[in-house]
Amino acid sequence: MQVYKAPLNDMRFVLLDLLDAGQLVKLPGFEEATPDTINSILEEGAKLCENVLHPLNRSGDEHGCTYENGVVRTPPGFKDAYKAFVEGGWLAMSANPKHGGQGLPELINFVFEEMVCSSNLAFGNYPLLSKGATALIEVHATTELKSRYVPRLIEGRWSGTMCLTEPQCGTDLGLIRTRAVPTDSGTYRVTGTKIFITAGEHDLSENIIHLVLAKLPDAPSGTRGISLFLVPKFTPRADGSLGPRNGVMCGGIEKKMGIHASATCVLNFDDAEGWLIGEPHQGLKCMFTMMNAARLGVGLQGLGIGEAAYQSAVAYAKDRRQGRSLKGAAEPAATADPIIVHPDVRRMLLTQRALNEGARALGYLVALNLDIARKHPDAAKREEADDFVQLMTPVVKAFFTDCGSLAANLAVQIHGGHGYIREHGMEQYVRDSRIAQLYEGTNGIQALDLVGRKLGQHNGRLLRRFFHPVTAFVEEHKGDERMAEFIEPLAKGLDRLRNASLTIAGRGLADPEEAGAAATDYLKLFALVAVGYMWARMAKIALAENGGGDDGFHATKLKTARFYMARLMPETSSLFAQLMAGKRTLMEMGADEF
């Protein structure tokens, strides 16, 4: 059975003890984001996710979205849940107060998004796309477009999409064929077909605002010729009321492996009226505002699934009785012991737990830096925080989603045969988690982004935003005997990462395929060290607090930290060996030999 209860204690630990989220009140506009306010928001968010969204997760998967004659209907209960979601102000939480938002920190929104992803990932796609569309329009659109569209997106009356992929192109957007022809009125007529459009058509909101990549008649070839257009489903009138249906129709919904309650659509644009966002031929640059935010959001989907899978696996492992403990019956009066007594079951559970808690700490740190990058009065601090966010975005997206998929598969393994059938819901987590490794740029693309762009950007400045604080932390604590079991593995991993970075930078300059061959292993090595850094910081706090009458919370945190350092960090050694092997074994075989 699927189990989920928001891990509020761990969330508070990361927010308040590890990251000191109370510092946010010092940033302009965040004066009300006190620890008490944060706690209240998290408690209310947990109620919505546990009591409204989570009960719809399995039924939504079983029923799925339906399509008939261009109309898409979400599963039973979704419209009421969406109404509760928007009326509760959850879509407006971190949005701009100028347009009706609450203006709260992105960090708080991150925590809430994790809960949404854990409780009902398919549902979470609808507000995720709207939030991204809102941010893009606010940054790049004209004042008129902002005032017309942003308040209604924040309110939830209208929703948003991003329309990139076409049948002949996915990652290589320079191949798009959708066209936009200018009119005498200053608008454009958009024609073409987009596929795999999340939330492209549904019955949750009054209107859907499509952000569409297309090419103007005079567009240069490739990605240099892409422009961005706002194309509403219904064209709004001057007073904000809905006007006539625009020339965009849903041609069908995809029959997918998972996230059945998330409408993934084929959209046909036929002379649809659109408005240019940003400058001509600069659409991809504008779209990256939405794509980067979406990549962090998808990373949270991996964390969310991982947490739900872990909680469900723990509940089953404590209840399911099979065999006896290897050292003798743990519960002699029962016919068998619960399977949680078995070492291999514990290995799987601890792997899930250590990755979830470590990823949560790293993800929230990225969100904190998002807020600093946007609000800090010191320009140097803003730049430093933004560098860190840019560097960590591909790491969060790829590693978190890989871990979410791993956690879901481990939950199936712990359930045994019962995990493979639909009754317990574990196979849904496997199916739902798989897409997160693909959309918003496959994880291989994230790895290429890390080594191809982020590694050398600004002469390595982004990389230094990570290496410098980690190195300083290691140096500060390397003489502390109590911290040795956490610092020594971190230091070794950091040395491997530093050497790998230098090697890839050198080889990649001479031969780009060398960097490409190392990319995936490098990203995982980077992620393991980054999460290891967070675990070492958490261990430091837990050591200071352990024994303080907290019912074992900090003692358990230390045990999990030890597991991560002893069982998961050693993989940095094999990853280093793999990436140092170079491209030969990958590239020497001819295509016809496969």
Q: Are 127 and 91 in contact (CB under 8 A)?
A: yes
The residues facing 192 across adjacent strands are 269
| Beta-sheet pairing, 207-214 with 227-232 | antiparallel
Please give the structure tokens belonging to residue 103. 């203006």
The dihedrals phi and psi of 485, each to the nearest 5 degrees, come to -70, -15
Whole-number Å distance between alpha carbons of 266 and 481? 59
Please give the structure tokens belonging to residue 290. 């939405």
Q: Pick the catalytic residue: 440, 481, 485, 514? A: 440
Please give the structure tokens belonging to residue 357. 């808690």
Whole-number Å distance between alpha carbons of 498 and 270? 52
The residues facing 213 across adjacent strands are 228
Whole-number Å distance between alpha carbons of 534 and 362? 6
Q: What are all long-range contacts of 12-17, with beta carbons under 8 Å and residues at least 24 apart? A: 12/39, 12/42, 13/538, 13/541, 13/553, 13/557, 14/360, 14/361, 14/364, 14/538, 15/107, 15/111, 15/364, 17/541, 17/545
- In this structure, how many other beta carbons lie within 10 angstroms of the beta carbon of residue 547? 10
- Which conformational region is residue 70 in: left (phi greater than 0), alpha (psi within -120 to 50 degrees), or beta? left
Strand extents, DSSP E, 36-187:
66-68, 71-73, 158-163, 179-182
Q: Are 6 and 40 in contact (CB under 8 A)?
A: no
- Which conformational region is residue 141 in: left (phi greater than 0), alpha (psi within -120 to 50 degrees), or beta? beta
Which residues, 6+ apart, have CB-to-CB distance to 416 below 8 Å? none
Q: Is 427 a catalytic site residue? A: no
- Residue owning tokens 């549902």: 123
- The set of catalytic residues is 440
